[in-house]
């Protein structure tokens, strides 16, 4: 090693490692756009299928393109019987993210197109990769809904082709069609979580894809990274915390106690946003609406109080609610069990993961950084019998 010590970017904070046209975050002003379109506009006017088309193909689809895309996605929802059987044998108390990971990993060997494109040129086979992409995206909700029904000792509910992605997921989970508000809220949640620059799970997907591994393997890497509480797992934890606080009156003492013990308040802070997360702002509006409709104002008011105290104490450091703070509440008010929150995030983010892999593969470069070695240089090997 030379005498000059290279800079080390632990956690890659603020480091640009690729170029992308998929999404842009303005962390200072709290703005998010997908290919130029504001997240506010997309949440209000678009659908999950449409924004997925936007992320994968680079433009909003016309009527014919959208209806073909939706049809193709809807026809790929069922999963092979062998994968259903694998899911049915997994422990019911396993974390659903582990089920999702196993489910997606199990789909790979059954894909009819994978063997023919496997090899050094896999990244150049866009048409085949798009077919695989649609299968993964369409089947992820089915894996989750089937496992949930099995866990509840209920018969699985097969997917329907006439419902959109969001409504079909709720239908498979509940065994009944969601009403318009429920379906819209799920769709909005999927739109909001679909992409977010080079977050940890997207980066994990790209590390795997950059070796010219396949899309299934890349998505399994993304699911694995998203499981952690510093990333996708925060929405579960944020809701559990609100339940523990119980009422707005307890919020101040609870938050102060946690901060004094140097513990983190889940659902707050973000590596990029140093202002209010725009996705949290959109979901907060829906959370308020749902709270009134489902008579769960106490939960929403507790959240408001936690937010108020946190901004008072940490706002100057750029700590504000992130999307996970309000998504957990919205899912809970919709009647979705807590352990399914992070899988819903994954079901949505798969759209962005795939979009980024397809984009990165257009000019693939192996991702292989270095670590600065700080260990000893010339240790002498000691036979085991001489070691203390």
Residues 226-255 that bind ligand ACO (CB under 6 A): 230-232, 234
> Contact with ligand ACO (CB under 6 A): which of 266, 283, 299, 334?
266
Q: Which residues contact 336 (CB under 8 A, 6 or more apart)?
A: 173, 344
Beta bridge partners of 31: 26
Instruction: With CB under 6 A as the rule, give the number of residues binding ligand ACO.
Output: 18
Q: Which is nearer to ligand ACO, 77 or 193 (CB)?
A: 193
Check if 270 is active-site.
yes
Q: Does 23 bind ligand ACO (CB under 6 A)?
A: no
Rounded to an integer, what distance in angstroms lies between the CA atom of residue 64 and that of residue 115? 31
Of the listed pieces 96-104, 224-232, 243-251, 355-363, which binds ligand ACO according to CB under 6 A?
A: 224-232
One of 165, 196, 231, 270 is an active-site residue; which one?
A: 270
CB of 311 to ligand ACO, least distance (A): 12
CB of 69 to ligand ACO, least distance (A): 26
Of the listed pieces 24-32, 202-210, 213-221, 258-266, which binds ligand ACO according to CB under 6 A?
A: 258-266
Q: What is the per-residue binding string for ligand ACO in 77-116, x denoting contact by CB under 6 A?
A: ----------------------------------------
> Contact with ligand ACO (CB under 6 A): which of 129, 322, 342, 351?
322
Residues 131-190 that bind ligand ACO (CB under 6 A): none
Edge to edge, the sheet with strand 31-34 lists 23-26, 31-34, 37-38
Rounded to an integer, what distance in angstroms lies between the CA atom of residue 67 and that of residue 303? 39
Of the listed pieces 77-85, 138-146, 260-268, 354-362, which binds ligand ACO according to CB under 6 A?
A: 260-268
Q: Which is nearer to ligand ACO, 10 or 382 (CB)?
A: 10
- H or E stretch including 144? helix 126-151
Distances from the Cα of 323 to the Cα of 112, 245, 282, 372, angstroms: 37, 20, 9, 35
Which DSSP string corresponds to 276-345? --HHHHHHHHHHHHHHHHTT-HHHHHHHHHHHHHHHHHHGGGT--B-HHHHHHHHHHHTT--GGGHHHHH
Strands (E), the chain: 23-26, 31-34, 37-38
Rounded to an integer, what distance in angstroms lies between the CA atom of residue 326 and that of residue 235? 8
Q: Which is nearer to ligand ACO, 35 or 196 (CB)?
A: 196
CB of 192 to ligand ACO, least distance (A): 10
CA dihedral 103, 126, 205, 352 (to 10 degrees): -90
Q: Which residues contact 387 (CB under 8 A, 6 or more apart)?
A: none
One of 193, 324, 332, 356 is an active-site residue; which one?
A: 324
Q: Does 15 bind ligand ACO (CB under 6 A)?
A: no
Q: Which is nearer to ligand ACO, 150 or 194 (CB)?
A: 194
Q: Which is nearer to ligand ACO, 139 or 270 (CB)?
A: 270
CB of 158 to ligand ACO, least distance (A): 31
Q: Does 308 bind ligand ACO (CB under 6 A)?
A: no
Contact 303, 286 (CB under 8 A): no
Burial class from Cβ neighbours inside 10 Å (0-12, 13-18, 19+) for residue 87 reads buried
Q: Does 323 bind ligand ACO (CB under 6 A)?
A: yes
Check if 113 is active-site.
no
Rounded to an integer, what distance in angstroms lies between the CA atom of residue 388 and that of residue 383? 11
Rounded to an integer, what distance in angstroms lies between the CA atom of residue 20 and that of residue 314? 32
Q: Which is nearer to ligand ACO, 54 or 241 (CB)?
A: 241
What letter would DSSP give residue 31?
Answer: E
> Contact with ligand ACO (CB under 6 A): which of 84, 324, 342, 350?
324
Compute φ and ψ for 380, nearest 5 degrees. -95, 130
Q: Which is nearer to ligand ACO, 61 or 228 (CB)?
A: 228
Distances from the Cα of 269 to the Cα of 166, 233, 275, 303, 324, angstroms: 28, 14, 9, 15, 10
CB of 269 to ligand ACO, least distance (A): 2
Chain residues binding ligand ACO by CB under 6 A are 230-232, 234, 264-271, 314, 317, 319, 322-324
Give the catalytic positions in this structure.
270, 324
């Amino acid at each position: 090693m030379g005498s000059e010590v290279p800079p080390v970017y632990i956690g890659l904070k603020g480091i640009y490692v690729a170029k992308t046209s998929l999404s842009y975050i303005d962390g200072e002003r709290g703005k998010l756009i997908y290919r130029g379109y504001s997240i506010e506009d997309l949440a209000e006017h678009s659908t999950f299928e449409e924004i997925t088309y936007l992320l994968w193909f680079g433009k909003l689809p016309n009527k014919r393109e959208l209806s073909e895309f939706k049809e193709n996605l809807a026809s790929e929802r069922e999963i092979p019987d062998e994968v259903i059987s694998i899911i049915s044998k997994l422990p019911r108390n396993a974390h659903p993210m582990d089920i999702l990971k196993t489910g997606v990993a199990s789909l790979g060997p059954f894909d009819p197109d994978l063997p023919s494109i496997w090899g050094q040129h896999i990244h150049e086979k866009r048409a085949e990769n798009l077919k695989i992409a649609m299968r993964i995206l369409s089947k992820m909700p089915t894996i989750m809904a089937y496992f949930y029904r099995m866990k509840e000792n209920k018969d699985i509910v097969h997917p329907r082709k006439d419902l959109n992605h969001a409504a079909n997921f709720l239908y498979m989970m509940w065994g009944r069609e969601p009403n318009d508000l429920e379906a819209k809220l799920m769709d909005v949640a999927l739109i909001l979580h679909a992409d977010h620059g080079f977050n940890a799970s997207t980066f994990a997907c790209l590390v795997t894809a950059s070796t010219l591994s396949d899309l299934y393997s890349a998505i399994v890497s993304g699911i694995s990274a998203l499981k952690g509480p510093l990333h996708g797992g925060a929405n579960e934890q944020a809701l559990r915390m609100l339940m523990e606080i119980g009422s707005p009156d307890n919020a101040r003492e609870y938050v102060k106690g946690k901060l004094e013990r140097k513990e983190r308040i889940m659902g707050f802070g973000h590596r990029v946003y140093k202002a209010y997360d725009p996705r949290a702002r959109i979901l907060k509006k829906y959370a308020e609406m749902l709270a009134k409709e489902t008579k769960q104002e106490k939960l929403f008011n507790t959240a408001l109080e936690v937010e108020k105290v946190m901004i008072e104490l940490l706002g100057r450091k750029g700590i504000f609610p992130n999307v996970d703070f309000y998504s957990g509440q919205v899912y809970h008010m919709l009647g979705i069990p807590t352990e399914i929150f992070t899988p819903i995030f994954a079901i949505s983010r798969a759209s962005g993961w795939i979009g980024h892999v397809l984009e990165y593969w257009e000019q693939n470069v192996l991702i292989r950084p270095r670590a600065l070695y700080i260990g000893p240089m010339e240790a002498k090997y000691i036979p085991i019998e001489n070691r203390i």
